């Protein structure tokens, strides 16, 4: 049995669910099956909304930051019946609600203050978060118009605990309104990679971390205690390392960091969560070469590339586009452009050295 998030944008890599479904432990198998079923149930709604992004968002009544947090009360239906906190209201006793509210605000501020973007759709779309979604499930989802947070089960604790999870899902929404990268094969891996990159950057900025001071992992704050005790640091990493190896629950991280190891099978919609490791590592190499704050020059180049790409764009397109943007914004053969070219070459994608007209 194979798990597929399909056109649903989910945080947990499907190959982990594939590994769990083969476990000798019936509790682990049941948890994996439950998460697979949830992904399937949400899939058709996500496909429909992705086709009409202009109609998906709820407008903000103020035209700016407007957060709405709902409590699904562990249900799968009627999840918007219980609005528990909205913009400007004080924290409540439910920490998941407060975390979802805070992280949506942190991510909004990141995009607004760094890239002058007004919410997911650039036009003040309300940020809808739903907490306590489903029963003991290990995932978080972007459905096309809202963010769903599960309480966790075996792999994760509450998925509201980590800024990079919120910013990852938020970024799937940004892509939906910009390049609309198809969620399969290399375009889908780019979709996942951009979500990872800006998830990491939002967290780094909030923590005021330089390139050298950041850890470049995703999902570390939401891991279940048993995984942390085994030394697992996150569910993905942008560094050259594997996030986990031979873990009894997770298996081994399948993300390649070079084109020679590109996954070419059909699982995970052609490897969208697997092959995202290649552009992820390219960004890491650019950021570490430039130093300082990664959301500044490296992040600015990647944000413009995200907006400039299109539905069927592949890794080669992303390499060429980011290289051209770096040349246009920072100068031909500038330190920034050289860093971008060298990073893509290091992951097996040599960028043609063309003259860029600003």
Catalytic annotation, pick one of 87, 99, 169, 336: 169
> What is the helix (H) or strand (E) element at residue 61, kind and residue range?
none
Q: Strands (DSSP E) along 72-216, which ranges?
A: 83-86, 127-131, 140-142, 147-149
Show the tokens assigned to 87. 């913009």
Question: Which residue among the candidates 19, 66, 172, 273 is catalytic per the annotation?
Answer: 273
Q: Which residues contact 144 (CB under 8 A, 6 or more apart)?
A: 45, 46, 48, 49, 50, 53, 56, 173, 176
Nearest Cα neighbor of 107 from 41, 195, 191 is 195
Closest alpha carbon to 222 in 172, 273, 161, 176: 161
* Both tokens assigned to 220: 């570390």
Give the gyration radius of the chain's Cα atoms.
19
243, 236 contact by CB (below 8 A): yes
| 273 classed as catalytic | yes
Active site residue 316: no
End-to-end CA distance of the chain: 50
Alpha carbons 100 and 162: distance in angstroms, whole number: 9
**Left (φ > 0), alpha (ψ -120 to 50) or beta: where does 208 sit?**
left
Residue corresponding to tokens 């569910």: 235
Active site residues: 169, 273
């Amino acid at each position: 049995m194979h798990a597929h998030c399909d056109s649903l944008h989910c945080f947990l890599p499907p190959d982990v669910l594939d590994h769990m479904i083969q476990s000798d432990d019936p509790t682990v198998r049941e948890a994996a099956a439950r998460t697979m079923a949830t992904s399937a149930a949400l899939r058709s709604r996500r496909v429909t909304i992705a086709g009409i992004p202009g109609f998906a968002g709820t407008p903000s009544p103020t035209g700016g930051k407007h957060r709405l947090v709902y409590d699904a009360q562990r249900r799968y239906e009627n999840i918007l019946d219980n609005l528990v906190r909205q913009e400007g209201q004080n924290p409540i006793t439910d920490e998941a609600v407060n975390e979802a509210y805070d992280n949506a605000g942190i991510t909004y501020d990141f995009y607004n203050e760094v890239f002058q973007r007004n919410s997911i759709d650039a036009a003040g779309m309300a940020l809808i978060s739903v907490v306590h979604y489903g029963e003991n499930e290990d995932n978080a989802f972007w459905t096309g118009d809202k963010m769903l947070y599960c309480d966790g089960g075996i792999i994760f604790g509450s998925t509201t605990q980590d800024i990079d999870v919120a910013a990852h899902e938020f970024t799937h929404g940004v892509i939906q309104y910009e390049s609309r990268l198809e969620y399969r094969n290399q375009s889908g891996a780019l979709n996942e990679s951009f979500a990872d990159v800006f998830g990491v950057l939002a967290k780094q900025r909030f923590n005021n971390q330089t390139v050298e001071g950041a850890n470049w992992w995703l999902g570390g704050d939401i891991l279940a205690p048993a995984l942390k005790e085994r030394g697992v640091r996150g569910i993905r990493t942008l560094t050259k390392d594997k996030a986990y190896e031979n873990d009894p629950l997770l298996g081994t991280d399948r993300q390649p960091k070079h084109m020679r190891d590109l996954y070419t099978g059909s699982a995970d919609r052609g490897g969208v969560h697997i092959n995202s490791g290649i552009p992820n590592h390219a960004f890491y190499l650019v950021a570490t070469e430039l130093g300082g704050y990664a959301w500044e020059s490296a992040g600015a180049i990647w944000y413009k590339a995200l907006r400039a790409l299109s539905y069927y764009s592949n890794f080669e397109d992303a390499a060429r586009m980011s290289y051209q943007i770096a040349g246009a914004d920072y100068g031909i053969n500038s330190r920034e452009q050289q860093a971008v070219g060298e990073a893509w070459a290091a992951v097996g994608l040599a960028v043609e050295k063309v003259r860029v007209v600003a």
